[in-house]
Protein backbone atom coordinates (compact mmCIF):
# COMPACT_ATOMS: atom_id res chain seq x y z
CA UNK A 1 0.00 0.00 0.00
CA UNK A 2 2.81 2.40 0.91
CA UNK A 3 4.52 1.89 -2.47
CA UNK A 4 1.23 2.27 -4.37
CA UNK A 5 0.52 5.56 -2.58
CA UNK A 6 4.00 6.82 -3.47
CA UNK A 7 3.50 5.88 -7.12
CA UNK A 8 0.06 7.46 -7.17
CA UNK A 9 1.39 10.78 -5.92
CA UNK A 10 4.18 10.81 -8.52
CA UNK A 11 1.61 10.18 -11.26
CA UNK A 12 -0.71 12.90 -9.97
CA UNK A 13 2.14 15.42 -10.17
CA UNK A 14 3.75 14.26 -13.42
CA UNK A 15 5.12 17.61 -14.49
CA UNK A 16 6.75 18.31 -11.13
CA UNK A 17 8.08 14.76 -10.97
CA UNK A 18 9.61 15.01 -14.44
CA UNK A 19 11.30 18.30 -13.60
CA UNK A 20 12.80 16.74 -10.46
CA UNK A 21 14.04 13.76 -12.46
CA UNK A 22 15.63 16.01 -15.08
CA UNK A 23 17.83 17.53 -12.37
CA UNK A 24 19.01 14.06 -11.33
CA UNK A 25 19.47 12.98 -14.95
CA UNK A 26 21.74 15.98 -15.61
CA UNK A 27 23.74 15.48 -12.42
CA UNK A 28 24.26 11.73 -12.89
CA UNK A 29 25.01 12.21 -16.58
CA UNK A 30 27.67 14.83 -15.76
CA UNK A 31 29.36 12.62 -13.17
CA UNK A 32 29.26 9.46 -15.28
CA UNK A 33 30.15 11.02 -18.64
CA UNK A 34 33.05 13.09 -17.34
CA UNK A 35 34.22 10.21 -15.17
CA UNK A 36 34.06 7.69 -18.03
CA UNK A 37 35.92 9.94 -20.46
CA UNK A 38 38.56 10.76 -17.84
CA UNK A 39 39.01 7.08 -16.90
CA UNK A 40 39.15 6.02 -20.55
CA UNK A 41 41.74 8.68 -21.34
CA UNK A 42 43.84 7.70 -18.30
CA UNK A 43 43.72 3.99 -19.21
CA UNK A 44 44.70 4.73 -22.81
CA UNK A 45 47.61 6.93 -21.77
CA UNK A 46 48.75 4.35 -19.21
CA UNK A 47 48.72 1.65 -21.88
CA UNK A 48 50.78 3.87 -24.16
CA UNK A 49 53.54 4.54 -21.66
CA UNK A 50 53.54 1.33 -19.59
CA UNK A 51 55.69 -0.51 -22.14
CA UNK A 52 58.39 2.16 -21.83
CA UNK A 53 58.05 2.84 -18.09
CA UNK A 54 61.33 0.99 -17.53
CA UNK A 55 63.37 3.51 -19.46
CA UNK A 56 65.88 6.29 -18.84
CA UNK A 57 66.36 8.63 -21.79
CA UNK A 58 69.63 10.55 -21.73
CA UNK A 59 70.18 13.74 -23.72
CA UNK A 60 73.52 15.55 -24.03
CA UNK A 61 74.16 18.99 -22.52
CA UNK A 62 76.92 21.32 -23.64
CA UNK A 63 79.02 21.37 -26.78
CA UNK A 64 82.10 19.36 -27.74
CA UNK A 65 84.89 20.19 -30.16
CA UNK A 66 85.64 17.24 -32.44
CA UNK A 67 88.33 17.65 -35.07
CA UNK A 68 87.93 21.40 -35.01
CA UNK A 69 84.12 21.15 -35.32
CA UNK A 70 81.63 22.08 -32.57
CA UNK A 71 78.84 19.57 -31.99
CA UNK A 72 76.47 18.31 -29.31
CA UNK A 73 76.26 14.62 -28.46
CA UNK A 74 77.67 11.65 -26.57
CA UNK A 75 81.18 10.44 -27.37
CA UNK A 76 82.28 6.82 -27.04
CA UNK A 77 83.95 7.83 -23.77
CA UNK A 78 80.63 9.21 -22.49
CA UNK A 79 78.93 5.94 -23.41
CA UNK A 80 81.56 3.96 -21.49
CA UNK A 81 81.22 6.20 -18.42
CA UNK A 82 77.44 5.95 -18.46
CA UNK A 83 77.61 2.17 -18.84
CA UNK A 84 80.07 2.00 -15.94
CA UNK A 85 77.66 3.96 -13.73
CA UNK A 86 74.79 1.68 -14.76
CA UNK A 87 76.79 -1.49 -14.00
CA UNK A 88 77.47 -0.19 -10.50
CA UNK A 89 73.73 -0.56 -9.83
CA UNK A 90 72.70 -3.63 -11.81
CA UNK A 91 73.86 -6.05 -14.47
CA UNK A 92 70.29 -6.47 -15.74
CA UNK A 93 69.95 -3.68 -18.28
CA UNK A 94 70.17 -2.64 -21.92
CA UNK A 95 72.06 0.47 -23.01
CA UNK A 96 71.47 1.72 -26.54
CA UNK A 97 73.10 4.84 -28.02
CA UNK A 98 71.49 6.09 -31.22
CA UNK A 99 71.30 8.91 -33.76
CA UNK A 100 68.14 10.89 -34.38
CA UNK A 101 67.07 13.89 -36.44
CA UNK A 102 64.40 15.07 -38.87
CA UNK A 103 65.07 14.58 -42.56
CA UNK A 104 63.19 15.26 -45.83
CA UNK A 105 62.14 12.04 -47.58
CA UNK A 106 60.56 11.50 -50.97
CA UNK A 107 57.68 9.02 -51.08
CA UNK A 108 56.40 8.63 -54.61
CA UNK A 109 56.04 12.23 -55.80
CA UNK A 110 55.58 13.69 -52.31
CA UNK A 111 58.34 15.36 -50.31
CA UNK A 112 57.76 14.78 -46.57
CA UNK A 113 59.64 15.30 -43.34
CA UNK A 114 60.12 12.29 -41.09
CA UNK A 115 61.89 11.49 -37.86
CA UNK A 116 64.82 9.23 -38.75
CA UNK A 117 66.81 7.01 -36.39
CA UNK A 118 70.08 5.20 -36.78
CA UNK A 119 71.27 2.48 -34.41
CA UNK A 120 73.11 -0.79 -34.33
CA UNK A 121 71.04 -3.57 -35.89
CA UNK A 122 71.61 -5.76 -32.79
CA UNK A 123 69.91 -3.15 -30.59
CA UNK A 124 66.75 -2.67 -32.65
CA UNK A 125 64.72 -5.56 -31.26
CA UNK A 126 65.11 -4.20 -27.72
CA UNK A 127 63.53 -0.84 -28.60
CA UNK A 128 60.91 -1.45 -31.28
CA UNK A 129 58.55 -4.26 -32.30
CA UNK A 130 58.16 -5.51 -35.86
CA UNK A 131 54.61 -6.08 -37.09
CA UNK A 132 55.81 -7.55 -40.37
CA UNK A 133 58.98 -7.92 -42.40
CA UNK A 134 62.58 -8.22 -41.25
CA UNK A 135 65.20 -6.09 -39.54
CA UNK A 136 67.18 -3.77 -41.83
CA UNK A 137 70.76 -4.53 -42.79
CA UNK A 138 73.28 -2.54 -44.79
CA UNK A 139 72.93 0.96 -46.15
CA UNK A 140 69.74 0.78 -48.24
CA UNK A 141 67.16 -1.07 -46.11
CA UNK A 142 64.86 0.65 -43.58
CA UNK A 143 61.82 -0.06 -41.44
CA UNK A 144 58.96 2.42 -40.98
CA UNK A 145 56.22 3.00 -38.40
CA UNK A 146 52.72 1.65 -38.97
CA UNK A 147 51.20 5.14 -39.02
CA UNK A 148 53.79 6.41 -41.51
CA UNK A 149 53.21 3.38 -43.71
CA UNK A 150 49.43 3.80 -43.59
CA UNK A 151 49.52 7.55 -44.26
CA UNK A 152 51.80 7.13 -47.27
CA UNK A 153 50.52 3.78 -48.61
CA UNK A 154 53.83 2.03 -48.01
CA UNK A 155 54.17 -1.74 -48.02
CA UNK A 156 57.02 -4.21 -47.72
CA UNK A 157 59.22 -3.66 -50.75
CA UNK A 158 58.13 -0.02 -51.29
CA UNK A 159 60.83 2.48 -52.21
CA UNK A 160 61.58 5.83 -50.60
CA UNK A 161 64.49 8.15 -51.28
CA UNK A 162 66.67 10.65 -49.46
CA UNK A 163 69.24 13.23 -50.45
CA UNK A 164 72.49 11.90 -49.00
CA UNK A 165 75.28 13.83 -47.28
CA UNK A 166 77.22 13.99 -50.53
CA UNK A 167 74.25 15.37 -52.45
CA UNK A 168 73.41 12.10 -54.18
CA UNK A 169 69.95 10.52 -54.15
CA UNK A 170 69.79 7.39 -52.01
CA UNK A 171 66.92 5.02 -52.71
CA UNK A 172 65.91 2.79 -49.79
CA UNK A 173 63.71 -0.26 -49.61
CA UNK A 174 61.14 -0.77 -46.85
CA UNK A 175 61.83 -4.20 -45.36
CA UNK A 176 59.79 -3.97 -42.16
CA UNK A 177 56.85 -2.24 -40.46
CA UNK A 178 57.16 -1.18 -36.80
CA UNK A 179 54.33 -1.34 -34.29
CA UNK A 180 53.02 2.07 -33.24
CA UNK A 181 54.22 3.20 -29.82
CA UNK A 182 51.94 6.24 -29.56
CA UNK A 183 52.99 9.81 -28.96
CA UNK A 184 53.43 9.39 -25.21
CA UNK A 185 56.44 7.13 -25.28
CA UNK A 186 59.94 7.28 -23.85
CA UNK A 187 62.70 6.47 -26.26
CA UNK A 188 61.93 5.85 -29.93
CA UNK A 189 58.49 7.03 -31.07
CA UNK A 190 57.78 4.85 -34.08
CA UNK A 191 54.44 6.20 -35.36
CA UNK A 192 55.85 8.52 -38.04
CA UNK A 193 59.44 7.35 -38.06
CA UNK A 194 62.00 5.70 -40.29
CA UNK A 195 64.68 3.52 -38.73
CA UNK A 196 67.86 2.12 -40.21
CA UNK A 197 71.36 0.99 -39.34
CA UNK A 198 74.13 3.38 -38.30
CA UNK A 199 75.70 2.74 -41.73
CA UNK A 200 72.49 3.86 -43.44
CA UNK A 201 72.11 6.88 -41.15
CA UNK A 202 75.69 8.01 -41.80
CA UNK A 203 75.12 7.96 -45.57
CA UNK A 204 71.81 9.82 -45.36
CA UNK A 205 72.40 12.28 -42.51
CA UNK A 206 76.01 11.95 -41.35
CA UNK A 207 77.23 10.65 -38.02
CA UNK A 208 77.43 13.97 -36.13
CA UNK A 209 81.23 13.70 -35.91
CA UNK A 210 80.87 10.37 -34.12
CA UNK A 211 78.62 11.77 -31.38
CA UNK A 212 75.37 10.01 -30.51
CA UNK A 213 72.21 12.11 -30.16
CA UNK A 214 70.55 10.09 -27.37
CA UNK A 215 71.14 7.12 -25.09
CA UNK A 216 68.41 4.82 -23.78
CA UNK A 217 68.88 2.68 -20.68
CA UNK A 218 66.26 -0.01 -20.08
CA UNK A 219 66.27 -1.71 -16.68
CA UNK A 220 64.76 -5.17 -16.30
CA UNK A 221 63.55 -4.06 -12.87
CA UNK A 222 61.89 -0.59 -13.11
CA UNK A 223 62.66 0.05 -9.46
CA UNK A 224 66.37 0.14 -10.39
CA UNK A 225 65.76 3.22 -12.54
CA UNK A 226 65.99 5.67 -9.63
CA UNK A 227 69.35 4.18 -8.55
CA UNK A 228 70.69 4.19 -12.12
CA UNK A 229 69.47 7.77 -12.50
CA UNK A 230 71.37 8.75 -9.36
CA UNK A 231 74.54 6.88 -10.40
CA UNK A 232 74.63 8.40 -13.89
CA UNK A 233 73.91 11.86 -12.52
CA UNK A 234 76.77 11.51 -10.02
CA UNK A 235 79.14 10.23 -12.70
CA UNK A 236 78.32 12.66 -15.51
CA UNK A 237 77.06 15.84 -13.87
CA UNK A 238 78.45 18.45 -11.51
CA UNK A 239 77.27 19.19 -8.01
CA UNK A 240 73.73 20.41 -7.37
CA UNK A 241 74.84 24.03 -7.13
CA UNK A 242 76.85 23.80 -10.37
CA UNK A 243 74.39 23.07 -13.16
CA UNK A 244 76.80 24.57 -15.68
CA UNK A 245 79.03 21.50 -15.22
CA UNK A 246 76.26 19.06 -16.21
CA UNK A 247 76.85 16.99 -19.32
CA UNK A 248 73.66 14.93 -19.43
CA UNK A 249 69.92 15.45 -18.95
CA UNK A 250 68.07 12.39 -17.61
CA UNK A 251 64.39 11.62 -18.21
CA UNK A 252 63.10 8.91 -15.83
CA UNK A 253 59.95 7.37 -17.33
CA UNK A 254 59.01 5.54 -14.11
CA UNK A 255 58.87 8.77 -12.11
CA UNK A 256 57.06 10.59 -14.89
CA UNK A 257 54.40 7.88 -15.06
CA UNK A 258 53.76 8.25 -11.32
CA UNK A 259 53.45 12.02 -11.75
CA UNK A 260 51.10 11.51 -14.70
CA UNK A 261 48.90 9.16 -12.66
CA UNK A 262 48.72 11.66 -9.81
CA UNK A 263 47.75 14.47 -12.18
CA UNK A 264 45.05 12.37 -13.82
CA UNK A 265 43.67 11.24 -10.45
CA UNK A 266 43.45 14.85 -9.26
CA UNK A 267 41.84 15.81 -12.56
CA UNK A 268 39.28 13.04 -12.13
CA UNK A 269 38.47 14.19 -8.60
CA UNK A 270 38.16 17.79 -9.78
CA UNK A 271 35.77 16.90 -12.61
CA UNK A 272 33.70 14.75 -10.23
CA UNK A 273 33.41 17.63 -7.75
CA UNK A 274 32.37 20.03 -10.53
CA UNK A 275 29.80 17.52 -11.75
CA UNK A 276 28.58 17.06 -8.18
CA UNK A 277 27.50 20.69 -8.06
CA UNK A 278 24.70 19.92 -10.51
CA UNK A 279 23.59 17.09 -8.22
CA UNK A 280 23.63 19.47 -5.27
CA UNK A 281 21.30 21.81 -7.17
CA UNK A 282 19.06 18.86 -7.98
CA UNK A 283 19.05 17.83 -4.30
CA UNK A 284 17.87 21.29 -3.23
CA UNK A 285 15.13 21.17 -5.87
CA UNK A 286 13.98 17.73 -4.71
CA UNK A 287 13.90 18.85 -1.07
CA UNK A 288 11.73 21.79 -2.09
CA UNK A 289 9.44 19.55 -4.16
CA UNK A 290 9.04 17.09 -1.30
CA UNK A 291 8.27 19.85 1.21
CA UNK A 292 5.60 21.14 -1.17
CA UNK A 293 4.23 17.61 -1.44
CA UNK A 294 4.08 17.30 2.36
CA UNK A 295 2.22 20.60 2.63
CA UNK A 296 -0.26 19.67 -0.08
CA UNK A 297 -0.94 16.28 1.50
CA UNK A 298 -1.06 17.29 5.13
CA UNK A 299 -4.75 16.38 5.38
CA UNK A 300 -4.13 13.05 3.66
CA UNK A 301 -1.31 12.28 6.10
CA UNK A 302 -3.63 13.14 9.00
CA UNK A 303 -6.29 10.75 7.71
CA UNK A 304 -3.75 7.98 7.22
CA UNK A 305 -2.45 8.46 10.74
CA UNK A 306 -6.00 8.47 12.16
CA UNK A 307 -6.80 5.07 10.63
CA UNK A 308 -3.71 3.50 12.21
CA UNK A 309 -0.89 4.12 9.75
CA UNK A 310 2.42 4.17 11.60
CA UNK A 311 4.83 7.05 11.50
CA UNK A 312 7.44 4.74 9.99
CA UNK A 313 5.07 3.95 7.13
CA UNK A 314 4.47 7.66 6.43
CA UNK A 315 8.23 8.14 6.47
CA UNK A 316 8.67 5.23 4.04
CA UNK A 317 6.00 6.58 1.69
CA UNK A 318 7.77 9.89 1.16
CA UNK A 319 11.19 8.23 1.00
CA UNK A 320 9.85 5.85 -1.67
CA UNK A 321 8.80 8.88 -3.72
CA UNK A 322 12.26 10.42 -3.44
CA UNK A 323 13.90 7.06 -4.10
CA UNK A 324 11.84 6.41 -7.23
CA UNK A 325 12.73 9.85 -8.58
CA UNK A 326 16.40 9.13 -7.87
CA UNK A 327 16.39 5.61 -9.31
CA UNK A 328 14.59 6.48 -12.55
CA UNK A 329 16.57 9.70 -13.01
CA UNK A 330 19.87 7.90 -12.34
CA UNK A 331 19.10 5.13 -14.85
CA UNK A 332 18.29 7.70 -17.55
CA UNK A 333 21.43 9.69 -16.65
CA UNK A 334 23.65 6.61 -16.90
CA UNK A 335 22.01 5.55 -20.19
CA UNK A 336 22.64 9.02 -21.63
CA UNK A 337 26.28 8.93 -20.54
CA UNK A 338 26.73 5.52 -22.20
CA UNK A 339 25.56 7.08 -25.46
CA UNK A 340 27.55 10.32 -25.28
CA UNK A 341 30.83 9.13 -23.64
CA UNK A 342 31.98 6.94 -26.58
CA UNK A 343 31.44 9.90 -28.92
CA UNK A 344 33.67 12.12 -26.79
CA UNK A 345 36.28 9.35 -26.56
CA UNK A 346 36.40 8.93 -30.33
CA UNK A 347 36.68 12.71 -30.78
CA UNK A 348 39.70 12.59 -28.44
CA UNK A 349 41.22 9.88 -30.63
CA UNK A 350 40.70 7.03 -28.14
CA UNK A 351 39.81 3.49 -29.14
CA UNK A 352 36.15 2.46 -28.72
CA UNK A 353 37.34 -0.53 -26.69
CA UNK A 354 38.38 1.95 -23.96
CA UNK A 355 34.67 2.04 -23.02
CA UNK A 356 34.84 -1.55 -21.76
CA UNK A 357 37.62 -1.17 -19.20
CA UNK A 358 36.73 -1.83 -15.55
CA UNK A 359 37.57 1.73 -14.48
CA UNK A 360 35.16 3.15 -17.09
CA UNK A 361 32.29 0.74 -16.48
CA UNK A 362 32.57 1.23 -12.70
CA UNK A 363 30.88 4.63 -13.19
CA UNK A 364 27.60 2.88 -14.13
CA UNK A 365 26.79 1.52 -10.63
CA UNK A 366 28.48 4.57 -9.08
CA UNK A 367 26.15 6.95 -10.95
CA UNK A 368 23.04 5.01 -9.95
CA UNK A 369 24.09 4.76 -6.29
CA UNK A 370 25.05 8.45 -6.07
CA UNK A 371 21.79 9.60 -7.67
CA UNK A 372 19.73 7.34 -5.40
CA UNK A 373 21.56 8.38 -2.23
CA UNK A 374 21.27 12.08 -3.09
CA UNK A 375 17.52 11.78 -3.59
CA UNK A 376 16.97 9.76 -0.42
CA UNK A 377 19.03 12.26 1.56
CA UNK A 378 17.03 15.13 0.02
CA UNK A 379 13.73 13.48 0.90
CA UNK A 380 14.71 12.55 4.45
CA UNK A 381 13.75 15.84 6.16
CA UNK A 382 10.41 16.26 4.32
CA UNK A 383 9.60 12.61 5.09
CA UNK A 384 10.50 13.05 8.76
CA UNK A 385 8.38 16.21 8.90
CA UNK A 386 5.39 14.39 7.38
CA UNK A 387 5.77 11.43 9.76
CA UNK A 388 5.73 13.74 12.78
CA UNK A 389 2.64 15.75 11.88
CA UNK A 390 -0.05 15.87 14.55
CA UNK A 391 -2.96 13.77 13.16
CA UNK A 392 -5.68 16.03 14.58
CA UNK A 393 -4.09 19.25 13.35
CA UNK A 394 -3.28 17.67 9.99
CA UNK A 395 -6.93 16.61 9.39
CA UNK A 396 -8.18 20.11 10.22
CA UNK A 397 -5.92 21.61 7.51
CA UNK A 398 -7.77 22.90 4.45
The arithmetic mean of pLDDT across residues 286-298, rounded, is: 80
- pTM for the complete prediction? 0.65
Contacts 24+ apart (CB under 8 A), 266-272: 267/38, 268/35, 268/38, 268/39, 268/42, 271/34, 271/35, 271/38, 272/31, 272/34, 272/35
Cβ-Cβ contacts under 8 Å for 5 (sequence gap 6 or more):
317
pLDDT the model gives residue 131: 92
DSSP letters spanning 242-283: -GGG--EEEEEHHHHHHHHHHHHHHHHHHHHHHHHHHHHHHH
> Is residue 345 within 8 Å of 354, Cβ to Cβ?
yes
Is the pLDDT at 168 greater than 70? The verdict is: yes
DSSP letters spanning 284-301: HHHHHHHHHHHHHTHHHH
Of 145, 253, 141, nearest in space to 189 by CA: 145
Which range among 48-52, 122-126, 139-143, 267-271 shows the weakest confidence by mean pLDDT?
48-52
Instruction: State pLDDT tens for residues 81-99.
Output: 999 999 999 999 889 999 9
- Residue spans of the domains in the chain: they are 2-49+258-395, 62-246
pLDDT the model gives residue 51: 59
pLDDT the model gives residue 79: 93
Amino acid sequence: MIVSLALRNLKLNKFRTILSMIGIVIGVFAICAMGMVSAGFTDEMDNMITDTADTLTLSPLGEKVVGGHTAVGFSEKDVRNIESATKSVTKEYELVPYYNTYKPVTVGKDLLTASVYGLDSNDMSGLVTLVSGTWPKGGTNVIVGEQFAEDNELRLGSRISFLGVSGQEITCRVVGIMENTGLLTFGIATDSSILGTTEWYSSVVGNNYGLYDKIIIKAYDPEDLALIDEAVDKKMNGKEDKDSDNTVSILNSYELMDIFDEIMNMSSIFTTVISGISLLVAAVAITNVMLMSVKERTREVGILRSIGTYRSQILQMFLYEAGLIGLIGSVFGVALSLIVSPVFMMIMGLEFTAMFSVSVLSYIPLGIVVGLVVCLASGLYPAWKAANLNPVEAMSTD
